[in-house]
A and B are shown apart, each in its own frame.
Chain A
């Protein structure tokens, strides 16, 4: 199989005015061999579907950035002592309590910004996968399926979606 053929897919979109049958449809698609990674449900409100999704990277981003933030706070306050070495009666110029206070704030700042940034990057990445699917302009739920080019299989999926009550089904070939 050439590279160009291997990267071609069918993008099937189905719109459901009631998201209730989606769970059953997804189960049946799984039985037909469609991997979870090729399925996406989208809507203008949260719909909780049993599809895998990884959120652990957000926690990791918060923790790592928080640690970096502590380092930043310590560097700022301790940097004062290094770059501006005033002699203050033999006492350190920066008290530990001050290092703690500033580091606490910088830890929070870095953790918040990093978590937000991680989310924004993930939004863009997941949205790119749906670029071939038309956005919804109402409160229905959309099901996006990516299939290898196989007319028979596409026909079976289409019938399945029709039986489940999909209001609108579109199939496009994605050669990207």
Chain B
């Protein structure tokens, strides 16, 4: 029998994984400042849009959904990273998940916040959001539950609450550890957040059982959420949207971009906080293998969707497809295929490439650019080619739209950077548990 993991190894885990909470380098502060500037710019643009009206956007008939909805779909997609990695890998008891889950779960929470912001931005008169909440009123108004947008509101609410609790659950023991090890203002805060956790055998068993139950539930919610986002399009009789493949295509596409985003975060967190002993090349290798799977499944579903429309040769559908494959959107379409499918397949199929963190990070970035383009290509060509040709239109986002959407990207990164100073990025107790399993 090998010797038990020594206290010094546990001490090292505590020291290494609590270290990012303290201190802030100049680079960190500079990054915070730059991101804050983008967030403020986005906020000002949004206020301007509220003040002067949604006419500040270039959303005009027939294109009434633009970058706001494309970005909403993109962020909902990114949010699938945490649920998929954490939920599915937890359920399958994959040991290698340990250093990745928290990083992915944080991503889920922040991206779902960004998705919600996009919805409110798109609402225009956002103070009327309460129209979506059912409440008895004199006007006898009641939300129209037949609208897919109400399905969205319900699903996103469920997903946001579930993801927050799913992130919080495994944080409780880490907050309790931090409570005993930090001083100053953080101590009482961690005391409250740890909910009085003492780590008794009963508490551990119950935490594990709760995480098992919620893992199952959150994975089911994950599938439903992006299916519903896919149904937003699929249940409409708009050419290019009315496809039964859309819900699974959206789910797989979401996991695809989410995995890419997790690889990006893994690379930078590992590099900046010198977490190489925890986030090893084998983690990139395994993420690379998963991305190959999502690339193949996404590519297959995308091909099936296009093939079905192409084989039907319905003129209205073909107008959209022609615009995508050979027309004004062709360069975007083929760029998307190369970024989201060809490059991941050509690079990640090589085992040696998967061992190269920088390479994987770049592939993750390209996948996300590709998947963002895919969202744009779902929305704009279809809305721009309604059934009556005289109504065809074009769309280019206004600077207001671009500023607000850049602001959400900056806000996402800003929240993540701030969270690094508050939440251990790698689950400390799970790392220790993993050490005991290795024993």
Contact = CB atoms under 8 A, between A and B. Distances in A.
Interface of A: 17-18, 20, 40-49, 51, 53, 55, 58-59, 62, 76-77, 79-80, 83-84, 93-95, 98, 101-102, 104-106, 108-109, 111-113, 115-116, 118-120, 122-124, 126-130, 135-140, 144
A21 to B, nearest CB: 11
B201 interface: yes
A138 to B, nearest CB: 7
Contact of B151 (A101, A108, A119, A144): A101
A123 B155 contact: no
7 contacts: A45-B173, A83-B140, A98-B146, A112-B162, A118-B210, A119-B206, A135-B198
Interface string B139-160: 0111111100011001101100
Among the interface residues B134, B180, B203, which one has the most CB atoms of the partner chain A within 10 A? B203
Given A76-B134, A139-B7, 13 more contacts: A44-B176, A44-B429, A48-B204, A76-B145, A101-B151, A105-B157, A105-B158, A105-B221, A112-B161, A116-B169, A116-B214, A123-B196, A138-B7
A106 B217 CA distance: 12
A20 B3 CA distance: 11
Interface of B: 4, 7, 10-11, 14, 134, 136, 140-146, 150-151, 154-155, 157-158, 161-162, 165-166, 168-169, 172-173, 176-177, 180-181, 195-210, 213-214, 217-218, 220-221, 224, 228, 428-429, 432-433, 436
A42 B195 contact: no
B201 A119 contact: no
Contacts of B224: 104-105, 108
A95 B158 contact: no
A139 to B, nearest CB: 4
B7 A58 contact: no
B136 A83 contact: yes
Contact of B199 (A43, A62, A111, A128): A43
Given A115-B213, A116-B169, A137 B198 contact: no
A80 B145 contact: yes
A46 B200 contact: no
A46 B208 CA distance: 9
Nearest to A133: B198
A137 B181 contact: yes
Contacts of A59: 209, 213
Q: Among B143, B202, B207, which residue has the most Cβ atoms of chain A within 10 A? A: B202
Question: Of residues A55, A95, A122, which shows the largest number of chain B Cβ atoms within 10 Å of its Cβ?
Answer: A55
Contacts of B141: 84
Given A17-B7, A46-B433, A136-B180, A62 B202 contact: no
A102 B220 CA distance: 14
Contact of B201 (A53, A129, A137): A53
A128 B196 CA distance: 8
Contacts of A17: 7
Contacts of A76: 134, 145
Given A53-B205, A115-B210, A127-B198, A45 B161 contact: no
Nearest to B168: A116
Given A46-B433, A84-B140, A138-B7, A115 B214 contact: yes
B201 to A, nearest CB: 5
B209 to A, nearest CB: 4
A142 to B, nearest CB: 8
A139 B162 CA distance: 31
B433 A108 contact: no
Contacts of A53: 201-202, 205-206
A116 B202 contact: no
A101 to B, nearest CB: 5
A55 B206 contact: yes
A49 B204 CA distance: 11
A42 B199 contact: yes
B146 A45 contact: no
Given A42-B200, A83-B136, A137-B181, A109 B433 contact: no
A51 B201 contact: yes
Given A83-B142, A137-B180, A138-B7, A40 B154 contact: no
Contacts of A138: 7, 11
Contact of A45 (B150, B151, B228, B433): B433
A40 B202 contact: yes
The 6 closest A-B pairs by CB, nearest first: A139-B10, A84-B142, A127-B196, A55-B209, A137-B180, A45-B432
B200 A44 contact: no
Nearest to A75: B134
A106 B154 contact: yes
A74 to B, nearest CB: 11
Contacts of A46: 204, 208, 429, 433
Nearest to B235: A97
A123 B172 contact: yes
A127 B168 CA distance: 18
Contacts of A41: 200-201
Given A45-B433, A94-B145, A115-B210, A109 B218 contact: no
Contacts of A137: 180-181
Contacts of A55: 205-206, 209
